[in-house]
């Protein structure tokens, strides 16, 4: 990655309040240049535009359809206690449900 | 004071104890946020709504395994994103690769010309052009970049939360958000470089 691009990445991260202290001075120095200011302003403009857009409303039938489907589901209940002192893995089973479709290649 | 995360966890525990109505409260709280997220990935509102509904059903089925190691909403968003990805794949609408994205962006950008014929005040037109260009660039982004910037800019998640939702390192989150911004900024630059009255 070229230096200018790296610095713009710092500015992007700074605009999210996520830049490390180690990179802060470099990013603040870059913001004194017109390129740095333009990147900062453009990144914030993009965020403003994205947040300004509406979200489609859920249909009137959404709640009743979902409620009907949920009624047909067995109650989730509490999972069985973990035995044998097995190390807990973060949200192991739920994560598996969530992550399963991720194996599908996107490109 | 009970934090939002603690409140969600209390509701989750009530569902796990057999109180299904507590899940309705979580649905009521998150259905619109989930729709906002999913509709950025699946553009047809009716299809997005189906994905939201499927997400809640999957979450309900998996809730017995949820322990609260992560926040409920990051877990829910993750299910939602993966359900949306799955939906797009089964519908044969693969997320665009970078090469496809470039072609689509170019096409979308040409379409922006049509907006220049709308007879509105200059500043309104400029704002519309900018919004249109951002949208067109967003839609052409590879799914992983689009997801990352939506989670940050629209949902307001931290990089750490996004890394949980997208199951990737924080450095990857940072890079994806930056790359998304660079692609969009590249398309915006011709508009932003010109004074408003020269943009027609």
Residue B116 has pLDDT above 60, yes or no: no
Is 60 exceeded by the pLDDT of residue B14?
A: yes
Rounded CA separation B113/B176 (Å): 29
Higher pLDDT, B167 or B92: B167
Is the pLDDT reported for residue A100 higher than 60? no
How sure is the predictor about B119, in pLDDT bands with cuts at 50, 70 and 90?
A: very low
Amino acid B109: pLDDT: 36
Q: How many CB pairs under 8 A join A and B?
A: 170
- Which of the pair, B115 or B57, is modelled with greater confidence? B57
Query: How far is B52 from B80, CA to CA, in rounded Å?
Result: 7
Contacts of A97 in chain B (CB under 8 A): 58, 61-62, 65, 79
Which class for B60: exposed (0-12), middle (13-18), buried (19 or more C-beta within 10 A)? buried
Architecture of domain B98-198: Orthogonal Bundle (1.10)
User: Can you give the pLDDT at residue A56?
Assistant: 86
Please indicate whether, in this complex, the C-beta atoms of B95 and A73 are within 8 angstroms of each other.
Answer: no
Mean pLDDT of A44-72: 90
Is the confidence at residue B120, as pLDDT, over 60? no
Residue A28 reports pLDDT greater than 70: yes
CATH topology of domain B4-90: Rna Polymerase Sigma Factor; Chain: A (1.10.1740)
Burial degree of B90 (CB within 10 A; 0-12, 13-18, 19+): exposed
Report the run of H or E that residue A101 belongs to, with start and end: none
| Pairwise CA distance, residues B156 & B33, whole Å | 11
Out of A62, A94, A107, name the one closest to residue B97 (CB): A107
Distances (CA, A) of B12 to B15, B117, B176: 5, 53, 32
**Domain B4-90 and domain B98-198 have a common topology:** no
What is the C-alpha to C-alpha distance for residues B159 and A51, in angstroms, rounded to an integer? 18
The domain locations on chain B are 4-90, 98-198
Report ipTM (2 d.p.): 0.71
B196 pLDDT exceeds 90? no
């Amino acid at each position: 990655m070229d230096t200018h691009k790296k610095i713009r990445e710092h500015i992007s991260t700074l605009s999210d309040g996520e830049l490390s202290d180690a990179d802060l001075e470099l990013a603040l120095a870059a913001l004194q240049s017109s390129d740095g200011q333009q990147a900062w302003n453009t990144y914030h403009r993009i965020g403003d535009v994205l947040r300004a857009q509406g979200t489609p409303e859920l249909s009137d039938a959404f709640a009743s359809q979902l409620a009907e489907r949920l009624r047909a589901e067995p109650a989730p209940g509490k999972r069985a206690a973990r035995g044998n002192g097995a190390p807990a893995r973060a949200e192991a089973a739920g994560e598996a449900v969530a992550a399963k479709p991720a194996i599908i290649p996107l490109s | 004071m009970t934090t939002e995360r603690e409140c969600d966890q209390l509701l989750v525990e009530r569902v796990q104890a057999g109180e299904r109505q507590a899940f309705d409260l979580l649905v009521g709280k998150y259905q619109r946020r989930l729709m906002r997220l999913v509709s950025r990935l699946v553009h047809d509102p009716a299809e997005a709504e189906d994905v939201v509904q499927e997400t809640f059903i999957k979450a309900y089925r998996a809730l017995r395994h949820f322990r609260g190691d992560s926040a409920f909403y990051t877990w829910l968003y993750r299910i939602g994103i993966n359900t949306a990805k799955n939906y797009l794949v089964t519908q044969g609408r693969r997320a665009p690769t970078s090469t496809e994205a470039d072609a689509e962006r170019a096409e979308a950008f040409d379409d922006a010309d049509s907006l220049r014929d709308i007879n509105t005040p200059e500043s309104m037109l400029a704002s519309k052009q900018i919004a249109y260009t951002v949208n067109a660039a967003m839609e052409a982004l590879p799914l992983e970049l689009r997801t990352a910037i939506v989670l940050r800019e629209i949902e307001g998640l931290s990089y750490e939360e996004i890394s949980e939702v997208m199951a990737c390192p924080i450095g990857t989150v940072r890079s994806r958000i930056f790359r998304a911004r660079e692609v969009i900024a590249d398309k915006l630059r011709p508009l932003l470089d010109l004074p408003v009255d020269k943009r027609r």
